[in-house]
Structure 1
Protein backbone atom coordinates (compact mmCIF):
# COMPACT_ATOMS: atom_id res chain seq x y z
CA UNK A 1 0.00 0.00 0.00
CA UNK A 2 2.86 2.40 0.88
CA UNK A 3 4.53 2.06 -2.53
CA UNK A 4 1.25 2.37 -4.46
CA UNK A 5 0.11 5.52 -2.65
CA UNK A 6 3.54 7.15 -2.87
CA UNK A 7 3.50 6.50 -6.63
CA UNK A 8 -0.01 7.97 -6.93
CA UNK A 9 0.90 11.09 -4.93
CA UNK A 10 4.09 11.50 -6.95
CA UNK A 11 2.15 11.16 -10.20
CA UNK A 12 -0.13 14.01 -9.13
CA UNK A 13 2.97 16.24 -8.95
CA UNK A 14 3.88 15.57 -12.60
CA UNK A 15 3.01 17.98 -15.42
CA UNK A 16 1.64 15.17 -17.61
CA UNK A 17 -0.90 14.13 -14.98
CA UNK A 18 -1.81 17.64 -13.82
CA UNK A 19 -2.57 18.59 -17.40
CA UNK A 20 -4.66 15.51 -18.25
CA UNK A 21 -8.31 15.87 -17.25
CA UNK A 22 -9.07 12.16 -17.86
CA UNK A 23 -6.24 10.96 -15.65
CA UNK A 24 -7.21 13.43 -12.92
CA UNK A 25 -10.82 12.28 -13.16
CA UNK A 26 -9.71 8.69 -12.56
CA UNK A 27 -7.46 9.62 -9.61
CA UNK A 28 -9.96 11.80 -7.75
CA UNK A 29 -13.06 10.36 -6.09
CA UNK A 30 -16.37 11.88 -7.17
CA UNK A 31 -16.82 13.29 -3.65
CA UNK A 32 -13.24 14.65 -3.49
CA UNK A 33 -12.53 18.03 -1.94
CA UNK A 34 -9.41 19.96 -1.02
CA UNK A 35 -8.32 22.68 1.36
CA UNK A 36 -5.36 24.21 -0.44
CA UNK A 37 -2.21 25.73 1.02
CA UNK A 38 -3.49 29.04 -0.40
CA UNK A 39 -6.56 28.83 1.83
CA UNK A 40 -8.99 27.95 -0.95
CA UNK A 41 -11.47 25.07 -1.01
CA UNK A 42 -12.10 23.04 -4.16
CA UNK A 43 -14.28 20.12 -5.19
CA UNK A 44 -13.53 17.64 -7.96
CA UNK A 45 -15.25 19.60 -10.72
CA UNK A 46 -13.31 22.75 -9.83
CA UNK A 47 -9.99 20.87 -9.79
CA UNK A 48 -10.72 19.22 -13.15
CA UNK A 49 -11.51 22.65 -14.59
CA UNK A 50 -8.58 24.61 -13.16
CA UNK A 51 -5.61 22.28 -12.63
CA UNK A 52 -4.88 21.57 -16.31
CA UNK A 53 -4.77 25.35 -16.91
CA UNK A 54 -2.27 26.15 -14.14
CA UNK A 55 1.36 26.96 -14.84
CA UNK A 56 3.38 23.90 -13.87
CA UNK A 57 5.69 24.20 -10.87
CA UNK A 58 8.16 21.40 -10.19
CA UNK A 59 7.51 19.69 -6.84
CA UNK A 60 9.35 17.13 -4.73
CA UNK A 61 7.91 14.87 -2.05
CA UNK A 62 9.89 14.10 1.10
CA UNK A 63 9.13 12.72 4.56
CA UNK A 64 6.34 10.54 3.15
CA UNK A 65 4.36 8.62 5.76
CA UNK A 66 1.35 6.32 5.52
CA UNK A 67 -1.27 5.53 8.16
CA UNK A 68 -3.73 2.74 7.25
CA UNK A 69 -7.14 3.68 8.68
CA UNK A 70 -9.11 0.67 7.37
CA UNK A 71 -8.48 -2.01 4.74
CA UNK A 72 -9.81 0.38 2.07
CA UNK A 73 -8.78 3.77 3.54
CA UNK A 74 -5.40 5.35 4.25
CA UNK A 75 -3.97 8.73 5.15
CA UNK A 76 -0.66 9.87 3.71
CA UNK A 77 1.35 12.86 4.87
CA UNK A 78 4.44 14.42 3.38
CA UNK A 79 6.42 17.58 2.83
CA UNK A 80 5.99 19.04 -0.65
CA UNK A 81 8.81 21.31 -1.83
CA UNK A 82 7.94 23.66 -4.70
CA UNK A 83 10.67 25.00 -6.96
CA UNK A 84 10.94 28.72 -7.66
CA UNK A 85 9.03 29.59 -10.84
CA UNK A 86 7.44 32.53 -12.60
CA UNK A 87 8.77 35.09 -10.14
CA UNK A 88 7.61 33.02 -7.16
CA UNK A 89 10.10 31.97 -4.52
CA UNK A 90 10.64 28.33 -3.65
CA UNK A 91 8.23 27.18 -0.94
CA UNK A 92 7.11 24.13 0.94
CA UNK A 93 3.90 22.87 2.49
CA UNK A 94 2.89 19.94 4.64
CA UNK A 95 0.38 17.86 2.71
CA UNK A 96 -2.14 15.26 3.80
CA UNK A 97 -4.37 13.08 1.64
CA UNK A 98 -7.02 10.47 2.30
CA UNK A 99 -7.07 7.66 -0.25
CA UNK A 100 -9.98 5.21 -0.61
CA UNK A 101 -9.86 1.92 -2.48
CA UNK A 102 -13.00 0.85 -4.36
CA UNK A 103 -13.10 -2.16 -6.67
CA UNK A 104 -9.32 -2.46 -6.53
CA UNK A 105 -8.66 1.17 -7.50
CA UNK A 106 -7.28 3.84 -5.17
CA UNK A 107 -8.75 7.34 -5.47
CA UNK A 108 -7.99 10.49 -3.53
CA UNK A 109 -10.93 11.45 -1.33
CA UNK A 110 -9.50 14.50 0.46
CA UNK A 111 -6.37 16.63 0.30
CA UNK A 112 -5.05 19.46 2.45
CA UNK A 113 -1.98 21.65 2.16
CA UNK A 114 -0.60 23.71 5.03
CA UNK A 115 2.13 26.23 4.22
CA UNK A 116 5.42 25.70 5.99
CA UNK A 117 6.99 28.95 7.26
CA UNK A 118 10.22 29.97 5.56
CA UNK A 119 13.33 29.10 7.52
Structure 2
Protein backbone atom coordinates (compact mmCIF):
# COMPACT_ATOMS: atom_id res chain seq x y z
CA UNK A 1 0.00 0.00 0.00
CA UNK A 2 1.44 3.37 -0.96
CA UNK A 3 2.04 6.19 1.51
CA UNK A 4 -0.45 8.29 -0.47
CA UNK A 5 -3.20 5.66 -0.04
CA UNK A 6 -2.41 5.25 3.67
CA UNK A 7 -2.54 9.03 4.09
CA UNK A 8 -5.89 9.15 2.27
CA UNK A 9 -7.37 6.43 4.49
CA UNK A 10 -6.12 8.10 7.66
CA UNK A 11 -7.39 11.47 6.42
CA UNK A 12 -10.82 10.02 5.65
CA UNK A 13 -11.10 8.47 9.10
CA UNK A 14 -9.94 11.72 10.73
CA UNK A 15 -12.53 13.70 8.76
CA UNK A 16 -15.26 11.31 9.90
CA UNK A 17 -14.21 11.64 13.51
CA UNK A 18 -14.04 15.41 13.26
CA UNK A 19 -17.63 15.41 12.02
CA UNK A 20 -18.71 14.04 15.42
CA UNK A 21 -20.52 16.46 17.70
CA UNK A 22 -18.16 15.73 20.62
CA UNK A 23 -14.40 16.18 20.36
CA UNK A 24 -12.35 13.04 19.84
CA UNK A 25 -10.72 11.84 23.03
CA UNK A 26 -7.15 10.62 23.05
CA UNK A 27 -6.68 6.84 22.96
CA UNK A 28 -5.63 6.70 26.63
CA UNK A 29 -8.99 8.24 27.59
CA UNK A 30 -10.83 4.96 26.94
CA UNK A 31 -11.13 4.48 30.71
CA UNK A 32 -12.32 8.06 31.19
CA UNK A 33 -15.60 8.39 33.09
CA UNK A 34 -16.86 10.67 30.31
CA UNK A 35 -16.72 7.82 27.77
CA UNK A 36 -18.85 4.69 27.87
CA UNK A 37 -17.13 1.54 29.13
CA UNK A 38 -16.47 -0.95 26.29
CA UNK A 39 -18.67 -3.61 27.90
CA UNK A 40 -21.61 -1.36 28.77
CA UNK A 41 -25.01 -1.36 27.08
CA UNK A 42 -23.84 0.85 24.21
CA UNK A 43 -20.88 -1.41 23.49
CA UNK A 44 -23.12 -4.48 23.58
CA UNK A 45 -25.61 -2.73 21.27
CA UNK A 46 -22.83 -2.02 18.74
CA UNK A 47 -21.59 -5.62 18.85
CA UNK A 48 -25.15 -6.81 18.29
CA UNK A 49 -25.58 -4.35 15.41
CA UNK A 50 -22.35 -5.57 13.79
CA UNK A 51 -23.46 -9.22 14.10
CA UNK A 52 -26.92 -8.39 12.75
CA UNK A 53 -25.40 -6.52 9.80
CA UNK A 54 -23.52 -9.68 8.80
CA UNK A 55 -26.64 -11.84 9.23
CA UNK A 56 -28.67 -9.48 7.05
CA UNK A 57 -26.01 -9.45 4.34
CA UNK A 58 -25.83 -13.25 4.35
CA UNK A 59 -29.65 -13.44 4.11
CA UNK A 60 -29.60 -10.68 1.45
CA UNK A 61 -32.08 -8.50 3.33
CA UNK A 62 -30.96 -5.37 1.48
CA UNK A 63 -33.32 -2.83 3.07
CA UNK A 64 -32.54 -3.85 6.65
CA UNK A 65 -28.79 -4.18 5.89
CA UNK A 66 -28.58 -0.73 4.31
CA UNK A 67 -30.38 0.84 7.29
CA UNK A 68 -27.25 0.27 9.39
CA UNK A 69 -25.13 2.47 7.09
CA UNK A 70 -24.65 6.22 7.19
CA UNK A 71 -25.09 8.05 3.87
CA UNK A 72 -21.29 8.52 3.72
CA UNK A 73 -20.48 4.86 4.53
CA UNK A 74 -17.48 3.37 2.73
CA UNK A 75 -15.21 0.35 2.90
CA UNK A 76 -11.52 -0.10 2.24
CA UNK A 77 -10.55 -3.24 0.38
CA UNK A 78 -7.40 -4.62 -1.16
CA UNK A 79 -8.33 -2.80 -4.37
CA UNK A 80 -9.08 0.58 -2.79
CA UNK A 81 -11.85 2.69 -1.34
CA UNK A 82 -15.38 1.51 -2.15
CA UNK A 83 -18.28 3.93 -1.66
CA UNK A 84 -21.60 2.97 -0.09
CA UNK A 85 -23.66 1.88 -3.12
CA UNK A 86 -21.10 -0.48 -4.69
CA UNK A 87 -20.14 -1.84 -1.26
CA UNK A 88 -23.77 -2.64 -0.45
CA UNK A 89 -24.34 -4.13 -3.92
CA UNK A 90 -21.34 -6.41 -3.41
CA UNK A 91 -22.72 -7.58 -0.05
CA UNK A 92 -26.03 -8.48 -1.72
CA UNK A 93 -24.42 -10.44 -4.59
CA UNK A 94 -26.65 -13.47 -5.20
CA UNK A 95 -23.63 -15.40 -6.53
CA UNK A 96 -22.03 -15.44 -3.07
CA UNK A 97 -23.16 -18.05 -0.55
CA UNK A 98 -21.91 -18.43 3.00
CA UNK A 99 -21.83 -21.98 4.33
CA UNK A 100 -20.46 -20.84 7.68
CA UNK A 101 -19.64 -17.50 9.26
CA UNK A 102 -18.24 -17.06 12.76
CA UNK A 103 -17.55 -13.67 14.33
CA UNK A 104 -15.51 -13.61 17.54
CA UNK A 105 -13.17 -11.62 19.74
CA UNK A 106 -15.23 -8.45 19.72
CA UNK A 107 -13.78 -5.31 21.27
CA UNK A 108 -15.35 -1.86 21.38
CA UNK A 109 -13.01 1.14 21.51
CA UNK A 110 -14.80 4.40 22.30
CA UNK A 111 -13.10 7.35 20.64
CA UNK A 112 -15.71 9.83 21.86
CA UNK A 113 -19.18 9.59 23.38
CA UNK A 114 -20.62 9.28 19.89
CA UNK A 115 -17.82 7.41 18.11
CA UNK A 116 -16.75 3.80 18.57
CA UNK A 117 -14.48 1.44 16.69
CA UNK A 118 -15.69 -2.17 16.80
CA UNK A 119 -12.98 -4.74 16.09
CA UNK A 120 -13.35 -8.52 15.76
CA UNK A 121 -12.26 -11.70 13.97
CA UNK A 122 -14.15 -13.14 10.98
CA UNK A 123 -13.91 -16.78 9.92
CA UNK A 124 -16.20 -17.68 7.03
CA UNK A 125 -16.43 -19.97 4.04
CA UNK A 126 -18.73 -20.65 1.14
CA UNK A 127 -18.98 -20.18 -2.62
CA UNK A 128 -18.20 -17.02 -4.56
CA UNK A 129 -19.41 -17.25 -8.16
CA UNK A 130 -19.01 -21.03 -8.06
CA UNK A 131 -15.56 -21.02 -6.44
CA UNK A 132 -14.90 -22.04 -2.84
CA UNK A 133 -13.62 -19.33 -0.53
CA UNK A 134 -12.34 -19.17 3.01
CA UNK A 135 -12.16 -15.86 4.82
CA UNK A 136 -9.96 -15.46 7.90
CA UNK A 137 -9.71 -11.75 8.70
CA UNK A 138 -9.64 -9.12 11.38
CA UNK A 139 -12.36 -6.54 10.83
CA UNK A 140 -13.06 -3.06 12.06
CA UNK A 141 -16.14 -0.88 11.79
CA UNK A 142 -16.42 2.74 12.81
CA UNK A 143 -19.83 3.59 14.27
CA UNK A 144 -20.98 7.17 14.88
CA UNK A 145 -24.06 8.32 16.73
CA UNK A 146 -25.90 10.78 14.50
CA UNK A 147 -29.30 12.26 15.24
CA UNK A 148 -29.68 9.85 18.16
CA UNK A 149 -28.91 6.73 16.10
CA UNK A 150 -25.72 4.65 15.78
CA UNK A 151 -24.68 4.22 12.13
CA UNK A 152 -21.78 2.40 10.52
CA UNK A 153 -19.63 4.83 8.53
CA UNK A 154 -16.54 2.70 7.78
CA UNK A 155 -15.61 -0.97 7.40
CA UNK A 156 -12.29 -2.67 6.66
CA UNK A 157 -11.12 -6.27 6.90
CA UNK A 158 -7.47 -7.30 6.98
CA UNK A 159 -6.52 -10.90 6.19
CA UNK A 160 -5.17 -12.80 9.18
CA UNK A 161 -1.65 -14.14 8.75
CA UNK A 162 -1.47 -17.72 7.51
CA UNK A 163 -0.57 -20.11 10.28
Q: Tell me the TM-score normalised to structure 2 length.
A: 0.64
Q: Distance in 2 between matches of 1:41 and 1:93?
A: 18
**Structure with the bigger percentage of helix:** 2
SS in 2 for 1:117: coil
Q: What stretches of structure 1 of length at least 5 have no aligned partner? A: none
Residues 49-100 of structure 1, C-alpha deviation per residue, up to 9 Å, x if partnerless?
2321241323211111011111111001111111354542533101011001
Contact 1:68 1:74 in 2 (8 A): yes
Q: Distance in 1 between matches of 2:72 and 2:155?
A: 12
Q: How many residues align?
A: 116
Q: Tell me the TM-score normalised to structure 1 length.
A: 0.85
Q: What stretches of structure 2 of length at least 5 have no aligned partner? A: 1-41
Which of the numbers 62, 70, 74 marks the counterpart of 2:116?
74
Q: Distance in 2 between matches of 1:60 and 1:43?
A: 25
Which of the numbers 56, 61, 64 marks the counterpart of 1:23?
64
Structure with max Cα Rg: 2
Residues 12-71 of structure 1, C-alpha deviation per residue, up to 9 Å, x if partnerless?
221xx11122112211111111013x4443111112323212413232111110111111
